[in-house]
Amino acid sequence: MAENRPDPHAPVLLIGLGRFGSAVGEQLVAQGREVMAIERDAALVQKFAGTLTHVVEADATDLQALRQLGAQEFATAVVGVGTSIESSVLITVNLVDLGVEHIWVKAITPAHGKILRRIGAHHVIFPEHDAGVRAAHLVGGRMLDFIEFDDDFAIVKMYPPAEAVGFTLAESDIRAKYGVTIVGVKTPGEDFTYAQPDTKVGPRDTLIVSGHTDLLERFASRP
């Protein structure tokens, strides 16, 4: 059965515009994604109104308020609330009840993270600003992991784009087309293999790819 993956171009629901949430939102917008942010602090709503696609002043702990705003229409939501564990948990429960398929939540402590996982959060994130930027790269759907180094160089674990599937690396010539390097290929049930020109990419494989962050984003955005 195919894994339920988020649409890398679909709008994202963002709740909370503190340091973490605003970093996620701004990076998503920079990547061309639409973002609807919900924040109960009027000052933060005003601050980011011109930056994000939509910013609404509302209390996301209120299930009816979320429903009226159409939260149930989003496949992906990011909860950036960090000042209150109770609010974070209530918001996450609301999103689970609304059937949001991919829920990313910032945790303040390991215990908080454990609670979030038990109530249905699909992804729990701990650090602040750096994790916000990293999460923005990951919620697109094709990237499974993202590690950024100095000088905007990164290594990612990702699903292969369609143009690479069924071809050897020599045939698809990804490096020449996109400026990134496929380091390795992992086929389910088999050992990790270092990439060779004759390595053939299957539809269920995952790739380890290195390169400049912007080039990796371009490669990962391919259908």
Residue 24 CA to residue 29 CA, distance in Å, equals 9
Note the pLDDT of residue 1.
34
Q: Is the pTM of this model over 0.75?
A: no
Domain with CATH 3.40.50.720 in the chain: 12-138
Residue 119 near residue 96 (C-beta atoms within 8 A): yes
Query: Which of the residue ranges 2-6, 31-35, 87-91, 104-108 would you say has the lowest mean pLDDT?
Result: 2-6
Note the pLDDT of residue 16.
96
Instruction: Return the CATH fold of 12-138.
Output: Rossmann fold (3.40.50)
Greater model confidence, 75 or 125: 75
Query: Which of the residue ranges 142-146, 166-170, 185-189 would you say has the lowest mean pLDDT?
Result: 142-146
Residue 220 near residue 155 (C-beta atoms within 8 A): no
Domain with CATH 3.30.70.1450 in the chain: 143-220
Instruction: Give residue 220's pLDDT band: very low, low, confident or very high (50, 70, 90).
Output: confident
- Of 39, 44, 40, 37, the C-alpha closest to 11 is 37
Task: Please list, in sequence order, all residues whose beta carbon lies within 8 angstroms of the beta carbon of residue 163, skipping any fewer than 6 positions away.
Answer: 172, 222
Note the pLDDT of residue 128.
55
Query: Which of the residue ranges 84-88, 137-141, 143-147 would you say has the lowest mean pLDDT?
Result: 137-141
Which pLDDT tens digit goes with each residue over 27-70? Answer: 999 999 999 999 999 999 999 999 999 999 999 999 999 999 99
- Average of per-residue pLDDT across 132-156: 77
Query: Which of the residue ranges 34-48, 97-111, 132-146, 161-175 would you say has the lowest mean pLDDT?
Result: 132-146
CATH 3.40.50.720, domain 143-220, yes or no: no
Instruction: Give residue 11's pLDDT band: very low, low, confident or very high (50, 70, 90).
Output: very high
- Of 122, 143, 148, the C-alpha closest to 133 is 148
Residue 140 CA to residue 133 CA, distance in Å, equals 12
pLDDT at 2 over 50: no
Positive/negative CA dihedral, 140, 144, 145, 151: negative
pLDDT at 151 over 80: no
Token pair for residue 148? 């950024």
CA distances from 217 to 25, 32, 65, 138 (A): 16, 11, 34, 10
- Average of per-residue pLDDT across 145-157: 82
